[in-house]
Structure 1
Amino acid sequence: MSKVLVVGGGPAGMFAAYYAAQNNNEVVLIEKNEKLGKKLYITGKGRCNVTNASDMDTILSNVMGNNKFLYSAFNDCTNKDVMDFFERRKTHLKVERGNRVFPKSDHSSDIISCLKRAIEDVGVEIKINTQVKKLLYDPFVEEEKKETENQNSKYKKKKPKIKLDKIIKGVVLDDGNEILADKVIVATGGFSYQTTGSTGDGYHFAENMGHKIVEVSPGLVPFEIKEDWVKKLQGLSLKNVSINIMSQKNKKLYSDFGEMLFTHFGVSGPMILSASSNIKPREFENELQLYVDLKPALDEETLDKRILREFEGGLNKQFKNVLGHLFPTKLIPIIVNLSTIDADKQVNDISREERLAFVKLIKNLPMTIVGKRSFNEAIITKGGVTVKEIDPSSMESKLCKNLYFCGEVLDLDALTGGYNLQIAWSTGHLAGISC
């Protein structure tokens, strides 16, 4: 039997604690907040998008980077395994559009309660309101490893290997007390939703152990838009539209089809969140152009004929009064103002050139992206502890023996749709069983 400390009481940490305890270890779960799963509580707008019911190949394809690193984790703990975990404990699930899996109750609190009961049932000791200050370790040197290093030193051109030179000893708490342990699992999350206590503690722990941190940035986060008219559309959701995002050099950075939402600061919604994770952070150093195709199912010629029909059905009516069948009411005054056509002009007086310019506006509604929102509005964190220094078959550090990392603290992120939580469950499970 080993003593295992799990630092962080989110989804990855709770799964890690449960599976570590199932291996007859003495497990202590340390959480700095006043309760477990604080960030999990607000995921999926409070409903908790537990996972995605697509096949695992599809889930893997929605991981933005380092997806090969997850082969072992996803193989050992699939989405079906996660769903079975909750169903067996009478927390029933349902599958919605896009194969997104939610609790039938639509309450994320039911998922958290289920996890808490599970870890208590296997004897995990839970310490809340407890802050870990740093990790404790001793030097770790094996005679065999020394010989290998001496041999490698003869070949100066050889790329130096990752050095396993530490062994975990435990943790130091904020109050100065030490908790000694045989193994430690770091599941502290990233920087996103900082009001829930995500302050990047795990990055500091990792750096102090010699790990490299891939630059972190907000992921799955809304965009800020320069144009003031966007604020007037706050709350308006557009479905079945497409977007193109272009750089200042007119290079296409991202395109998508789906749903978007106007906010008081800019735009959000599934397409926008996905775009934020697909576009490289350095691209946001300059303004970007967002073009929305309001009628992607129609080419310009077909759309022109459609507009003509609307005009013919409203002869002698003002331009602003014949667009009710084309756009949501809230959008009409905005699209009229952005066009080259006088709002009060009668439709039978509108020229062909004006009409064709209007068609182009509908197919390319322009906005200027001036940046992403902060970490506090980001669903996930991009970047983190480099996976090059983590063993993908166990989640163990390659630098420090008996130290493990799982969940969002690692340089792993996926698109919206339950994929990020699957990463948390799978990596937490693998870290736990590896102990």
Structure 2
Amino acid sequence: MQKESSSTDRYRDSKPIDSPVHCLVVGGGAAGLLAAGQAALAGADVLVLEKMSRPGRKLAITGKGRCNLTNVAPITEFIDHFGPTGSFLRQAFHRYFTSDLLEFLQELGVATVTERGGRVFPASGGAPEVVTALLRWLERCGAAVRTGAPVERLLITDQAVTGVVCNGTVLPCSTLILATGGASYPLTGSTGDGYRLAEQAGHRLVPVRPALVPLITEGEWAGRAAGLQLRNTRVQLYISGRKQAEAFGELTFMQFGLSGPVILTLSGRAVDALRQRLEVHLVLDLKPGLDEKKLDARLIRDFEQRHREPLDSVLRGLLPQELVPIALELNGLAPDRLAGTVRSVERKQLRHWLKNWRLRIVGHRPMAEAIVTAGGVDTREVDPRTMGSRLVRGLFFAGEILDLQADTGGYNLQAAFSTGWLAGRAAAAG
């Protein structure tokens, strides 16, 4: 009985590497796979070049393996989550948006569920299901995939793309889509190769830096609570003493500092400020459900009713156990001091700290730990109607290689699908 070939072998043998094609797609992630399928459906001869041993590796681990596909927020709100460059996506979203993606996934047999915050996930809870479904669809569309195929350089003649050099071999094409991703999660193949290729084509890069990344705090305080997760916390970002943003949600104390959705949401501005050598602080409101007056009343009541108990015991009714010794130490209160002996000025200081725990941010974790990459190909040099280069004919971009980055919640992956859909359609017509 003949041994069945592996999926990797099938991809490697799917098309001779030196065969000319109409459309080459560099990168087999979310944007690249959707672009390739759409170009094939539009009648183009398509070949995907993926440098890793299998496509979709980053997609298979996104959302901690659950794959936050998109969000049900309306387009205007969606665009707001991308900040200054969000308006570039308006036309792509109007052409292919959440409802289109969900209908497409349903056709592929991928059921979805909508969870808190409008986040959409596969009902199975597994990102690999999405990758498998996309690859099967791609095969039905007639697009070929070649793995172990890193692109070394682009071939450009008279400001028009004519092919690439891949594994030392020239591969001609009429149109080319760069969908190589960013520089985060390098073990999945996202190592910033596309930036080098874009620069070779003459495109300007907005400085690349990590986004949606954990932050490093000064001192030992966060590390002493390492592993603690808070579900409902308000966090304010201060840059050079001025409040710039705030977010509400979950955070996690780490040995080095802070992580979790609320921290990742604020991290982009923090990283940019640190790059400018500005002073950055996060201010944590540990009791967001109580205003200053109600919290003061709560402290007075607890201290009076439990006046014979030590403070470290009384404060466990207000704070997780891990934070009690930190709260007492930062406010100069002994853990064995009786609650009834706390003076008014000391109580007010503690109350203020509970609503305004200030932590200085001194750095961020490396690019390898970032969920997405900020910066990339300057969107001013890309036509938002087609994702086509304004500098080189036949060259298109899709996904994270572009200077587009949003908060967590499915926004970034939807942008990858939308720009991939648009680039694929336009490249097939080119």
Aligned to 2:80: 61
Of 162, 167, 191, 1:169 maps to 162
CA apart distance, 1:30 = 0.6
C-alpha distance in structure 2 between counterparts of 1:270 and 1:280, whole Å:
16
- SS of 1:44's equivalent? coil
Residue among 19, 26, 43 paired with 2:45? 26
Q: In 1, are the aligned partners of 2:26 and 2:50 still within 8 Å (CA)?
A: yes
Equivalent of 2:54 in 35, 40, 50: 35
Distance in 1, Cα, partners of 2:278 & 2:79: 31
Equivalent position SS for 1:234: coil
Could you say what secondary structure the match of 1:182 adopts?
strand
Determine whether 1:221 maps to 2:213: yes
User: Per-residue CA shift, 1:286-345, capped at 9, x if unaligned?
Assistant: 442221111123222221110111112212111111112211122212212222211111
Question: Is 2:253 the partner of 1:262?
Answer: yes
Which residue does 2:280 correspond to in 1? 288
In structure 2, C-alpha distance between the alignment counterparts of 1:5 and 1:341, rounded to whole Å: 66
Counterparts of 1:229 and 1:390, CA distance in 2: 45
Task: Decide which moves more: 367-376 or 306-315.
Answer: 306-315
| Structure 1: segments with no counterpart, 5+ residues | 140-165
Please show how residues 26-425 of structure 1 align to structure 2 within 5 Å: 26-139=45-158, 166-173=159-166, 175-247=167-239, 249-279=240-270, 281-284=272-275, 285-425=277-417
1:5 aligns with 2:27: no
Q: Percent identical across equivalent pairs?
A: 40
Secondary structure of the residue aligned to 2:374 is strand
Number of aligned residue pairs? 407
- Larger deviation, residues 250-259 vs 368-377: 250-259
**Alpha-carbon distance between aligned partners in 1 of 2:251 and 2:99, rounded to the nearest angstrom:** 30
TM-score normalised to structure 2 length: 0.92
2:383 is paired with a residue of what secondary structure? coil
Could you tell which deviates more after superposition, 386-395 or 329-338?
A: 329-338
Contact 2:271 2:364 in 1 (8 A): no
Q: Which stretch shifts more, 230-239 or 11-20?
A: 230-239
**CA displacement, residues 44-71 of structure 1 (integer Å, 9 cap, x when unaligned):** 1110000001222221221123222112
Deviations 1:168-192 (A, max 9, x none): 101101x310111111100001111
Supply the distance in 2 between the matched residues of 1:23 and 1:321 (Cα, whole angstroms): 68
Could you tell me how far apart the structure 1 residues matched to 2:256 and 2:387 are? Answer: 39
When residues 71 and 13 of structure 1 are mapped into structure 2, their CA distance, relative to the original with a 3 A threshold, is: same
Cα deviations across residues 379-410 of structure 1 (Å, max 9, x unaligned)?
11111101111111111111111110110001
Q: Could you tell me whether the CA contact under 8 Å between 1:65 and 1:412 is conserved in 2? A: no
Contact 1:286 1:370 in 2 (8 A): no
* 1:88-139 deviations in Å (ceiling 9; x for gaps): 1111100000010000111000010011011011111110111100111111
Return the alpha-carbon distance in structure 2 between the equivalents of residues 117 and 392 of structure 1: 29
- Given that 2:388 and 2:397 are in contact with CA atoms closer than 8 Å, whether structure 1 keeps it comes out as yes
Q: Is the 8 A contact 2:273 2:279 kept in 1?
A: no
Matched-pair contact (CA < 8 Å) for 2:113–2:121: yes
After TM superposition, the runs of 4+ consecutive aligned structure 1 residues lying more than 4 A away are none
The answer to whether the 8 A contact 2:274-2:362 is kept is: no
1:156 corresponding residue in structure 2? none
Q: Residue 65 of structure 1 contacts residue 413 of structure 1 at CA under 8 Å; is this kept in 2?
A: no
Give the conservation status (yes or no) of the 8 Å contact 2:274–2:363.
Answer: no
Aligned partners of 2:39, 2:71: CA distance in 1, in Å? 25
For 2:271 and 2:195, locate their aligned partners in 1 and report how far apart those are by CA, in whole Å. Answer: 21
What is the root-mean-square deviation of aligned Cα atoms in Å? 1.4
